[in-house]
Structure 1
Amino acid sequence: MTYCVGLLLDEGMVLLSDTRTNAGLDNIATYRKMFLFEEPGERVVAILTAGSLSVTQTTMARLREAVEDPDATPDNSIMMAPTMLKVAEIVGNTLSHVRQDIDARMEASKVSTSASMIVAGQRRGGAMRMFLVYPEGNFIEATEDTPYLQIGEHKYGKPILDRVVRPSTSLDDARKAVLLSMDSTLRSNLSVGMPLDFAVIEKDACRVTTRRRIEKGDPDFSRMSLAWSEALRDGFTKIQI
């Protein structure tokens, strides 16, 4: 399984994903689940994936193939689409077609082919937008009322986002929020694991302004995790009932 989260804020977008796909005593696999496409200054598109690895990998391969196709058009290339809404439609249609193809082949084995994606980005002259794309290809959009989207094992990391994330949240506080959200998920679910992929897209930059891979044992992440645990324990002891 996996956990991916995206925040859409006044100052920009913050994205985080884990890389674990299988968890067990003798079967742990790592695959990238954050994919970044950019033409600096013109447009940037980020796609986070969760669910069936065969579905998500095939979907990403088809999207990348369309981007690299010399005969690509605004109807099939996410890097030529006129709006982020059209980008979400292209991703949704591709995901739906791939899932249906694989589902037909896997029907007898009863293997799940469900997959979902977060699509975020901005083109020059357009607004920042973020969408959650469902397995069927339909999608919803992040709004001022709900300025973040999650896919995968989202329940453990949701409470802190509900409490602290607002459109006006600074990028520094947003970075802290998504990392603490991931820390809570890592502690509660073995199917989510390090390393992590982190990215920031500042408003109107139309490029990835920060990207980082956080490996297991990263001192900054470990320090933050310890401080959060101590703060929770301290707060717990102070509450009177």
Structure 2
Amino acid sequence: MTYCCAIKTTAGMVFLSDSRTNAGVDQISTFRKMLIYERPGDRFMVMLSAGNLSVSQSVREILQDESIKDSETGDPVTIWNARSMFDAVRVLGSAVRHVNHRDGAALRHAGLEFNVSLIFGGQIGDEPMRLFMVYSAGNFIEATTETPFFQIGESKYGKPVLDRVITPQTPLDEAAKCALVSMDSTLNSNLSVGLPLDMVVYEAGKLQSDRVVCIDHDNPYYRMLHSTWTERLRQVFDGIEAPQWNGGKTDIPLRVASSRHPALKKITSPRERLI
């Protein structure tokens, strides 16, 4: 499986992906799921992929040459000459539909779904940064102030920390740390997601980035983060008072009188039935 996430704040963007793929317990491989499109001073874009590996790889290849028509001039628009991130993600959506038209029927005939999910974000020229999630149909949605991050793949394990921490005002390094904690939580709970990780941190307005890293088991920061997060979670858990059933020494008992929540009926005889 896969876990990828991307975060957009006012300070910049963070992209993070794992590299494990599997087609059963005997077919586990490592493939990178991140691709960077960069022309320094002009545009910086990152694509993350999840789903059927053959589909996502085909989309990546076709995207290099895929084009749509400019609505005003009729000229071909590619990701390299698009004047906005909106136009660039339209090209990506067109590439997804192109692969679906070419391979979709054959996949369905083989009993497989046309399954791909993509995160695409970055900045072109003076336009503000933008972040999109692209679906299998080639349609897409954009991140907003209320939802400044996207996830694809095994998202449920890493989502709680993103929900609690990330806002548009989160400093860029804090967003990067939160993304890694989100990934660590996923790695800890799902064997289909695995190291190494690919990470890009992009500072708004730079139109290039040298903050690109591949993180493996020996990365000292990731090892520190993993052990510290585990230890601190346990400390927080231990610091929460255990339930007190009959008042005890606390003013926050677990059991309180309430007409809305009457006591559950107990069965005290093998013949007694619940009504």
Q: What range describes the TM-score normalised by the shorter chain of this pair?
A: over 0.9
Q: How does 1:96-175 map to 2 (within 5 A)?
A: 96-175=97-176
Give the deviation of 1:222 after TM superposition: 1.2
Distance in 2, Cα, partners of 1:55 & 1:99 = 8
TM-score (norm 1): 0.94
Give per-residue Cα distances to partners, 1:115-145, cap 9 Å, x unaligned.
Answer: 0100101011111000000100111101110
Query: Per the alignment, do residues 46 and 227 of structure 1 end up closer, same or farther by CA in structure 2, a change over 3 Å counting?
Result: same
Normalised by the length of structure 2, the TM-score is 0.82
Contact 2:34 2:49 in 1 (8 A): yes
Higher relative contact order (CA 8 A, sep 6+): 1
Distance 2:155 2:130 in 1: 21
* Alpha-carbon distance in 1 for matches of 2:201, 2:128: 16
- Could you tell me how far 1:96 is from its partner in structure 2? 2.1
Tell me if the contact between 1:130 and 1:141 (Cα under 8 Å) persists in the aligned partners.
yes
- What are the Cα deviations for residues 85-142 of structure 1, in whole angstroms up to 9, with x where unaligned? 0111110111122123222112222123210100101011111000000100111101
In the alignment, structure 2 segments of 5+ residues that lack a partner are 68-73, 244-275
Higher share of residues assigned helix: 1
Deviates more, 1:124-133 or 1:17-26: 17-26
Look up the match of 2:49.
49
* Cα offsets for 1:20-54 (capped at 9, x unmatched): 11165432111111000111011111110000111
Please tell me whether residue 90 in structure 1 is matched to residue 117 in structure 2. no
Aligned residues: 236
CA contact (8 A) 1:202 1:209 kept: no
Which ranges of structure 1 fall in alignment gaps of 5 or more residues?
Answer: 68-72
User: Alpha-carbon deviation of 1:79?
Assistant: 1.3
User: What's the RMSD between the two structures over aligned residues?
Assistant: 1.6
SS at 1:78's partner residue?
coil
Partner of 2:189: 188
User: Which residue is equivalent to 1:70?
Assistant: none
Q: Which runs of 4+ in 1 moved over 3 A?
A: 23-26, 73-76
SS in 2 for 1:5: strand
* TM-aligned CA deviation for residue 76 of structure 1: 4.0
Q: How high is the sequence identity, in percent, across the aligned residues?
A: 44
Larger-gyration structure (1/2): 2
8 Å Cα contact 2:201/2:211 also seen in 1: yes
Tell me how far 1:74 sits from its aligned partner.
6.5
